[in-house]
Structure 1
Amino acid sequence: MALIVKKFGGTSVGSVERIEAVADKIIASRSNGDDIVVVVSAMSGETNRLIALAEKIQEQPSPRELDVLVSTGEQVTVALLAMALHKRGCGARSFTGSQVRILTDSAHTRARIQEIDSQRIKDELDQGHVVVVAGFQGVDGDGNITTLGRGGSDTSAVALAAALDADECQIYTDVKGVYTTDPRVVEDARLLRTITFEEMLELASLGAKVLQIRSVEFAGKYKVPLRVLSSFEDDPGTLITLEDNTEMEAPIISGIAFTRDEAKVTVSGVPDVPGVAYQVLGPVSDAGIEVDVIVQNVSADGTTDITFTVKRQDSEQTRKLVTAVAQQVGARDVSVDNRIAKVSLVGVGMRSHAGIASQMFKTLADESINIQIITTSEIKISVVIEEKYLELAVRSLHSAFGLGEETALAG
């Protein structure tokens, strides 16, 4: 008998009819003899609706009271799903995050899980019940309701799976699994049957939106087998697991991730003296703005150019901060380009294969796509290009590295 944690997101439980369909899936899984713990999100759109209500009352709501408010969305879903299971003759109990003691720190709206008391869930499972737990929420040491931030239900599910030593954590979404790239951009994008935690973490951090980053980190840390699959189709989906458990000869490239919401900031003619990079980037970091790619070039005249990327929504604030610093240090110019995008190749196979970067660069050159910035890690190569070439770049690279369905079948 296996212990399975199943997580259903907002679209999967977006209506009474869909909640009924989820109940049918759980019953089918129970018929295999599995013990089931279910983690659910609020119904799609509900969290946004609750936040909008709060903002009508108070422009910047108290984080503590906001957590109390938005946590009610999941409370509705767990109760409705438990009712749907009762209707089918299945014993089920619903619980909020505080009732099963998902203990977090006190950082309201972005809390982090510290500990889970799994005994209550185990007791319910021993009685033959399906346990339905509200995702996205917990409780701090003072008994205050906390929430884990956007996408936090994924993290709730993985954390529960780790605490319960579950055989698998299954994340049900509105897609069939993890693809080689976004199928909306590349028609023959291929569904991956397996991918490593490392690769999934890179893809998630680089723009793939199938899973929340923290949940992948959690799964990798506690070695929880993680599966992404569809709520609406019968398909085994994608298993995310340790590299040691995948094929002996992993594909060189597993996927291509991209993001459009980038901006490039360049500070030109900066005096080349120790500590100048901190002087430029320190105020940006202090403002809570996430800096991604950083490149520094030293010129023959003894100055340096510092180029870095930020989220596009942060570009104007970044420009103001950096302009003030540039005047202080005597830099020549500050420029901001909001028309860039980042494209990344990801694959553990890069460790044992040379020439990946040169093939990537040649493919882009053949399409007359200019590379503005390059950054690499052991299993990733990212380039910054003009946004207007993004889809052409992704399609060309997908074809060049043989990632499509037809290529895979031919191979």
Structure 2
Amino acid sequence: MKKPLIVQKFGGTSVGSVENIQKVAKHIIEAKDDGNQVLVVVSAMAGETNRLVDLAQQIDSVPNARELDVLLSAGEQISMALLAMTLNKLGYAARSLTGGQAKIVTDEKHNNATIEDIDTQGIRTLLDQEQIVIVAGFQGVNRNGDITTLGRGGSDTTAVTLAGYLGARECQIFTDVDGIYTCDPKIVHQAKKLSTIDFLSMEEMAKRGAKVLHLPSVKYAQKHNVPLRVLSTFKNSSKGSFVTGQQAPDGICGIALQDEMQLIEIDSTLIASLLAQCHMLGIAIWNTIESKNTTQFVVKYADYIKLKLTLSEKEHTASLVNLITVVGSMKEVSEDKIRAILSENGVKIIFYTLNIRSFTVAIRPEEVDKVANILHDIYIDSAVVIER
């Protein structure tokens, strides 16, 4: 009988040093010794992608997108080779593959590509030969053979998509935290770990800035019903958090944070052409606020750098903001209550938006810790956290 397949993904902190890579190898060997086929996806070592981006920007503040992908793809290749060396030395046959060697085909969009297809025949052959297959995350090739990358956090999407194509029993995402929390525990010390969370709530958390999972990976897992678990590389006893279920129950599931955002105000008559420019550059608009003569919109700061030349004299004002979002059923959320409580605590809300699954406030970056703890206290600590 064919052995079940486990896909394991290890993030940058997990492979951030030779010592940590040896810890990663133990997780892989444990899964292999339990009678599974094992496919591993790795990120670049912690800080490596930022180092490579910095090198590129020393040459050009807005680097050529194709060449930037060629450069950034090197980070994951370092990790995969070191891990394969470690496993082979420990007596376990392992083979590393780049995105191109793994036959991961993407669209043409450099720096933020989407996986379109994976030819898994070569991977299946290696797995059937009892080899541990290690794939570089975050990358693929387009149909012209050019290297592409999937955007920050894209290794999650590589792992989940491979798990779906290969019919894995489970896709395990290993990080430096032991699961999915109701908020970033580094900011909200009372944040609670969720044993389970449904796909819809997890998607909204990821969409609103929670960095534990890459948004496209959650969407793919939901669409193809890929069993998804978030675990810690450094806590062997933890079962982590399981993402499952297609129905979102009532209640609040968490507080999501998004930093380094830029709020830009321009003349309303110019917004249509600017939105077209954003579409051409692949820049996501997070929020748009209309007023009488001007329009405000929010983009990531890195995208704002790309837009600066286009904005030129069109730009009225630009300022850094952070977004904090209450995620879950909005039945119990009162925008008047949130505004009143934050005002009482001396917090100025720059703007807010409300939809069926989230309430977002934009604030000054220096107020993030205070606001996150206030909202967590209101909607998490004083209520029952939703879990399936």
Greater mean deviation of Cα atoms: 197-206 or 155-164: 197-206
Are residue 309 (structure 1) and residue 298 (structure 2) matched? Answer: yes
Taking the TM superposition and a 5 Å limit, the aligned residue runs for 1:65-84 are 65-84=67-86
Q: For residues 62 and 371 of structure 2, what CA distance do their matches in structure 1 show? A: 41
Q: For residues 264 and 50 of structure 2, what CA distance do their matches in structure 1 show? A: 32
Q: For residues 17 and 187 of structure 2, what CA distance do their matches in structure 1 show? A: 29
Letter in 2 for 1:196: D
Are residue 286 (structure 1) and residue 276 (structure 2) matched? Answer: yes
- Offset, 1:255: 0.6
Partner of 2:239: 236
Correspondence for 2:360 among 360, 372, 382: 382
Letter in 2 for 1:158: V
Given that 1:263 and 1:315 are in contact with CA atoms closer than 8 Å, whether structure 2 keeps it comes out as: no
Q: 1:321 to 1:48 in 2, by over 3 A?
A: closer
Taking the TM superposition and a 5 Å limit, the aligned residue runs for 1:47-86 are 47-53=49-55, 62-86=64-88
Partner of 2:289: 295
Taking the TM superposition and a 5 Å limit, the aligned residue runs for 1:43-122 are 43-53=45-55, 62-122=64-124
TM value normalised by structure 2: 0.84
SS at match of 1:114: strand
- Offset, 1:252: 0.6
Taking the TM superposition and a 5 Å limit, the aligned residue runs for 1:130-149 are 130-149=132-151
Taking the TM superposition and a 5 Å limit, the aligned residue runs for 1:210-221 are 210-221=212-223
Superposed CA deviations along residues 118-163 of structure 1, whole A, max 9, x for unmatched, are 1222222222222111112222223333322332211111111111
Partner of 2:260: 261
Superposed CA deviations along residues 100-134 of structure 1, whole A, max 9, x for unmatched, are 21112233333321100112222222222221111
Are residue 397 (structure 1) and residue 386 (structure 2) matched? Answer: no
Letter in 1 for 2:245: L
Given that 2:183 and 2:254 are in contact with CA atoms closer than 8 Å, whether structure 1 keeps it comes out as: yes
Q: For residues 320 and 55 of structure 2, what CA distance do their matches in structure 1 show? A: 35
- Offset, 1:193: 1.6
TM value normalised by structure 1: 0.80
SS at match of 2:201: helix
- Offset, 1:400: 1.4
Q: For residues 55 and 265 of structure 1, what CA distance do their matches in structure 2 show? A: 23
SS at match of 2:204: helix
Greater mean deviation of Cα atoms: 257-266 or 121-130: 257-266
Partner of 1:4: 6
Superposed CA deviations along residues 341-366 of structure 1, whole A, max 9, x for unmatched, are 3321101x44xx35554553454354
Q: 1:109 to 1:390 in 2, by over 3 A?
A: closer
Letter in 1 for 2:376: H
Given that 2:106 and 2:143 are in contact with CA atoms closer than 8 Å, whether structure 1 keeps it comes out as: yes
Superposed CA deviations along residues 243-283 of structure 1, whole A, max 9, x for unmatched, are 34x8xxx461111123343444456xx8xxxxxx5x33123
Greater mean deviation of Cα atoms: 160-169 or 233-242: 233-242
Q: For residues 388 and 55 of structure 1, what CA distance do their matches in structure 2 show? A: 27
Greater mean deviation of Cα atoms: 66-75 or 163-172: 66-75
Superposed CA deviations along residues 314-368 of structure 1, whole A, max 9, x for unmatched, are 399679849648xxxxxxxx5x363643321101x44xx3555455345435435
Superposed CA deviations along residues 4-62 of structure 1, whole A, max 9, x for unmatched, are 11111122112222111111111112222222110112222333444455566777655
Letter in 1 for 2:251: I
Superposed CA deviations along residues 167-201 of structure 1, whole A, max 9, x for unmatched, are 22111111222211122222111112222222222
Q: For residues 333 and 146 of structure 2, what CA distance do their matches in structure 1 show? A: 54
Are residue 207 (structure 1) and residue 188 (structure 2) matched? Answer: no
Given that 2:6 and 2:31 are in contact with CA atoms closer than 8 Å, whether structure 1 keeps it comes out as: no
SS at match of 1:38: strand
Q: 1:126 to 1:387 in 2, by over 3 A?
A: closer
RMSD over equivalenced CA pairs, Å: 3.2
Letter in 2 for 1:205: K
Q: For residues 116 and 160 of structure 1, what CA distance do their matches in structure 2 show? A: 8
Q: For residues 31 and 282 of structure 1, what CA distance do their matches in structure 2 show? A: 58
Given that 1:261 and 1:341 are in contact with CA atoms closer than 8 Å, whether structure 2 keeps it comes out as: yes
Alignment length (residue pairs): 377
Question: Can you give the 5+ residue segments of structure 1 that lack an aligned partner in the other structure?
Answer: 271-276, 298-302, 326-333
Partner of 2:338: 360
Q: For residues 191 and 342 of structure 2, what CA distance do their matches in structure 1 show? A: 19
SS at match of 1:243: coil
Given that 1:225 and 1:240 are in contact with CA atoms closer than 8 Å, whether structure 2 keeps it comes out as: yes
Superposed CA deviations along residues 86-110 of structure 1, whole A, max 9, x for unmatched, are 2222232222222221112233333
Given that 1:9 and 1:40 are in contact with CA atoms closer than 8 Å, whether structure 2 keeps it comes out as: yes
Question: Can you give the 5+ residue segments of structure 2 that lack an aligned partner in the other structure?
Answer: none
SS at match of 1:207: coil
Given that 1:180 and 1:403 are in contact with CA atoms closer than 8 Å, whether structure 2 keeps it comes out as: no
Q: 1:188 to 1:19 in 2, by over 3 A?
A: same
